Amino acid sequence: MSQSRLLLCTDMDRTIIPNGSQAEHPNARQCFADFCLHPEVTLVYVTGRHQALVQEAIIEYALPEPDFVITDVGTKIYQVKEARWLPWQNWEQEIAQDWQGKNHNDLMQLFANIGALELQEDSKQNTHKLSYYLNLQFDHQAIIGAMEALLKTEGICASLIWSIDEATNMGLLDVLPRHATKLHAIEFLQQQLAFGQDEILFAGDSGNDLPVLISQLPSVLVANASDDIKQSAQQQAEQQGNATMLYLAQDSELAMNGNYTAGVLAGVQHFYPEFYAQMEQD
């Protein structure tokens, strides 16, 4: 593949943020930042973090300022211009269709009688993201089933995402529009910015990146990803007929270890070697 520009979409935690257990190469983050400075590169952060946490991470880890940010598990897209974060209203309109014009407050009222649900902090909510804590003593499958029944009666298409915060041993439950996913948000951005299939790369490390990693989009799984994720991603990509679109970064590439930002750059080199070489030369 070769092209003259690149839409570089990357997860943050444990992908470009070195907050996993594996070591980061000392030169990798600076090389990544230098690469992203080129005007031919449009940088997109794709993360479950909300805006304030993304901004904190950019400062704390000296990350390059992005051109766009997909936040809150795919429910928000921001364009970043001269440190101003401008929400994309056309994306809000896109995903609003799933909720039949209803918003966060409407769905909160719908679930008001389910006593086990505890609202998360305001910073973790937005117009099309409703987030709860759920104590692990409760049967989360039964509660999700009750919520899905209520949504069905209203004709609302929503995804209920369950996870566990191991640090607090607390259940987390997000209610999102069905199409508010990392994959759909990236494809929407790609279409709006008129980038071709051979002008894009996604980088990730974990299970919530799998829908993108196994898709038709060129993707790289950084070397510090777990063996389980690597195996699952390879198997699912092959089942989808997209095995050649997934690359597993190696620990010996680019004279770096393939972890975090080094893995992202290795993915660029793998899919777009001529482009990467030109950026290095410039």
Q: Of the residues 120, 154, 177, which one is the last residue of a structural domain?
A: 177
Domain match, 170 and 191 both: no
User: 148, 177, 206: which is the final residue of a domain?
Assistant: 177
**For residue range 33-56, what is the model confidence (pLDDT) as tens digits?**
999 999 999 999 999 999 999 999
pTM for the model stands at 0.90
Split into its structural domains, the chain has a count of 2
Summarised one tens digit per residue, pLDDT across range 106-160 is: 999 999 999 999 999 999 999 999 999 999 999 999 999 999 999 999 999 999 9
pLDDT digits (tens, 9 = 90+) for 172-231: 999 999 999 999 999 999 999 999 999 999 999 988 899 999 999 999 999 999 999 999
State the pLDDT at residue 248. 97
The answer to whether position 22 is within a domain reads yes
Specify the CATH number for the domain of residue 134.
Answer: 3.90.1070.10
Range of the domain at 68: 6-75+180-281
Whether pLDDT at 243 is above 70: yes
Domain match, 171 and 202 both? no
Q: Is residue 88 part of a domain?
A: no
Report the share of the chain in percent with pLDDT over 90: 88
Give pLDDT, residue 1: 45
Q: What is the CATH number of the domain that holds 257?
A: 3.40.50.1000
Widest CA span of the chain, in angstroms? 62
- Are 12 and 24 part of one and the same domain? yes
Q: Domain boundary at 129, 159, 177, which?
A: 177
> Domain check: are 35 and 160 in the same one?
no
Is there a domain that residue 124 lies in? Answer: yes
Q: 164 with 37, same domain? A: no
pLDDT of residue 165: 83
- State whether 231 and 271 are in the same domain: yes
244: pLDDT confidence band, cut at 50, 70 and 90? very high
